[in-house]
Structure 1
C-alpha cells in the first residue's frame, strides 16, 4: 500500500502484526480511525479536513475566555522571555487545557480550579496536576494585572500532597552506587554522566552543551531551564573523562556510539538496561535516576558545609529554594549528628549507664 502524505498529519504502519496503518494530526495529537476512514479514501481526506477546520477555529479564541487569556499571555514577553524548556512545560499544560479554552473567565472559581487540578492529576499524575494548577495561577495573575479578571481564582489553591510513605523522587546516589555505575559505563556514556555526576548538570544540559563550553579546564555554559550562567573549573573526574572520550564531529560535546548528538530519549534507552542490570546484581538500589545526580552534588556540597547560595550557583539556580530542597538530607543529617553528640554528652554527664540486652 502506498503511503499517503497529508500536510500536518503523521502516517505510519505498525512494526508488528497485523501491521495496521495509523494517522495522527501533529498539532493536536488527534488520531484518525483508519478502519472507519481508510487511508487514501475520500472519507479519510474529509476527516483530515474536518480536524484541520476544528483546529483553525481554536486558533481564534473567543473574547473573555481562557483561550484568549492564554493566547495573549503566550504572545507577551512574560512568556517569550522564559527559557525554551520552561515554555515547553507551560505549553504542555496549555495543550491539556485546550478542551476548556472556550470557558468564560468569570466562571473560574477556586472549586473549579481544584477540580481541574484533581482531574489532571488523576489522568497524568500528581506532579502534572500540581503543575497545571501553578501555570493557571501564573496565567490568571498576569490577566488580573491587565484587567482580564477581577481576582485570581487559583492564587490560594494548594498542591496535592505527596502520599505518605512515597519514595523521594530523584534521590541522591550513594558513593558505592556512583562507583558501580562509573565502572559499568561504556566509553561513549562516560563523559555525559561525568558532567551530571560531578558538575551537577541537568541530563538534558549535559547532552546539549557545545564543545566550546569547555576550554582551559573550565566549563562555561548556561542552564537550559533557568538561563543562569555556570562557570567554574572542571572537577578532576570530568577532566579525566574528557581525555579518554571517543573522538567525533558532532556539534555537541558529548556524542553517542555513532558519533552523533545524543537525544534525551536515546540516552535514556541506553541508560535503562544498564541500570536494571546493576539493580539485579545488587550493585545499586531501586529508584536511581540521572536527575538524582544533581541532588547528589548538592548533598555533598551541603555536607562539606557550603551555604545554599553557593550550592545554587553551582547548580545554575536563580534562587536558593531548589538548592535547599536538594540539600535537605545533608542539612538534617549534619544537624542531627550534632544533636546526638550533645545528647550522648548529656547522658555521660548524668552518669546514665548503657543497658546491655539480656
Structure 2
C-alpha cells in the first residue's frame, strides 16, 4: 500500500488504528471520512488549509510592529536551529502575544514589557511568563543588528520566581516508586523507562536514540536541547535493560508495541494513562514525571559525592549550574556531617599546635 506524505501535514494512526491527519502549524484537522487519504478531495483540502495558513501569516505580521519583529525572528537561523521543544514553546508564547501583535515598535519600552510580563504571570503562570520574557529578549536581541529596534527592552525585566509554597516540578523518584513502575509497566514502556533511569537522557532524546548510536559499550549522541555531546558508558544494569527490549525493526533503540519508533506525544499519552492508574491505586505518589528520571540520576550522583562538572558532563549540560539545579534535592546531610567532622578535627588540631604567644609549633 502506497504511503501518502504531504509536506506540512501529520498523517498517523491513532491508538484505535484509525487514520488521522492534521496541519502541523495550524492544527487544522482533515476529516478522512469525507476526504479519504490520497483522494482528489484530500489534496484539495490540504491546499485550502495551506492557503488559509499563508493568509493568516501575512495578516499576523505588519511591518513596524511587535508581530513583525517576532515573525522576523522566527525566520532567523538561530530560531531554526533551536530544539523542537523550544521552538514549540516559543510559538505558544507568540500565540499569547497575538492580541497585541500590532503594537507599534516606537511605543515599546522596558515598562511596557514588564507590564506584559506581569499580565502573563497572572494568566498563564510564572514559568510560562518567564518564557514569554525570554522570547521577547531573543526577538529584540536579533532585531537590534537589523536596525528594527533600538534596544533589548526585555533584558532588564526581572524574571518571576517560583512561588515559595509550590513544589518544584520533576521531583526525583524514590527507589520504591522506580521498582513498582518497572514491575507493572508493559515491556515496551518498561524498556523506555529503564533507559531513562540508567542514563539520565532527556525523554525526547531517549525516544529518538538510534541503534547505530550505541558503539560497543558506549552511547554516543548529542543532546537535542543544547547540542552538547554526550558519551554514556553502558554498564551491567543498562546492558540488562537493553537485553530485555522486545525485538523490533525500527531504527531507534526503543519502539512501541507495534514495532514503530515512539513519538514523544505517543509515549507521553501512554505514560500518563499508566501513571494515573498507579496513583489511583495509591502505589506511587503524585508528581512523577519522565523528566524527573533525569533529576533522579543527578540527585543520586550528587549524594554519591560526584562534583557538578562530572554530573553536567554525563547529562549533556554545558554548565555545572544546571547540574546543581537538577540535583538540588540531594540529601547531603550525611556528606555534610563528614565535612563538618573534618572541619572540627582540623580546628582542634590547629588549636593544640598554637602556644599562648600565638606562634605555631609543629605537632609531635
Scaled to the shorter chain, the TM-score interval is 0.7 to 0.9
Match of 1:57 in 2: 58
Displacement of 1:67 after TM fit? 2.4
Partner of 1:20: none
TM-score, normalised via structure 1 length = 0.76
Cα separation, 1, equivalents of 2:229 and 2:334: 30
In structure 1, distance between residues paired with 2:264 and 2:54: 34
Structure 2 partner of 1:259: 259
Q: Look up the SS of the partner of 1:328 in the other structure.
A: coil
How far did 1:109 drift? 2.3
Closer, same or farther in 2 for the Cα pair 1:9/1:270, shift >3 Å? closer
CA 55–8 in structure 1, closer or farther in 2 if over 3 Å, else same: farther
Q: CA deviation at 1:323?
A: 0.9
Across the aligned residues of Structure 1 and Structure 2, the Cα RMSD in angstroms comes to 3.3
Distance 2:177 2:50 in 1: 54
- How many residues of Structure 1 are paired with residues of Structure 2 in the alignment? 312
Q: Is the 8 A contact 2:28 2:49 kept in 1?
A: no
Match of 1:209 in 2: 209
1:125 Cα offset (Å): 2.8
Which stretch of the first structure deviates more once superposed, 261-270 or 309-318?
261-270
Distance 1:156 1:216, change over 3 A: same
Gaps of 5+ in 2: 1-6, 11-21, 30-47, 346-364
CA distance 1:145–1:49, change in 2 (3 Å): closer
**Which string of whole-angstrom CA distances, capped at 9 and with x for unpartnered residues, describes residues 114-154 of structure 1?**
23223333333321111011111122122234432222221
Query: What CA distance in whole angstroms lies between the structure 2 residues aligned with 1:138 and 1:26?
Result: 24
SS at match of 1:138: helix
Please tell me whether the aligned partners of residues 312 and 320 of structure 1 are also in contact (alpha carbons under 8 angstroms): yes
| Equivalent pair of 1:207/1:264 in contact (CA under 8 Å) | yes
Residues 62-115 of structure 1: CA deviation (Å, up to 9, x unaligned): 332222322332333322333333233223323332332221222122232123
State the TM-score, normalizing by the size of structure 2: 0.75
**324 and 52 in structure 1: CA distance in 2 versus 1, 3 angstrom threshold:** closer
The alpha-carbon distance between structure 1 residues 113 and 237, as it changes in their structure 2 partners (threshold 3 A), is same
Equivalent pair of 1:191/1:238 in contact (CA under 8 Å): no
Aligned to 1:13: none
**1:137 equivalent in structure 2:** 137
The equivalences for 1:1-358 within 5 A come to 27-28=25-26, 54-58=55-59, 61-330=61-330, 332-333=332-333, 336-338=336-338
Shift of 1:249: 0.9
CA contact (8 A) 2:199 2:232 kept: no
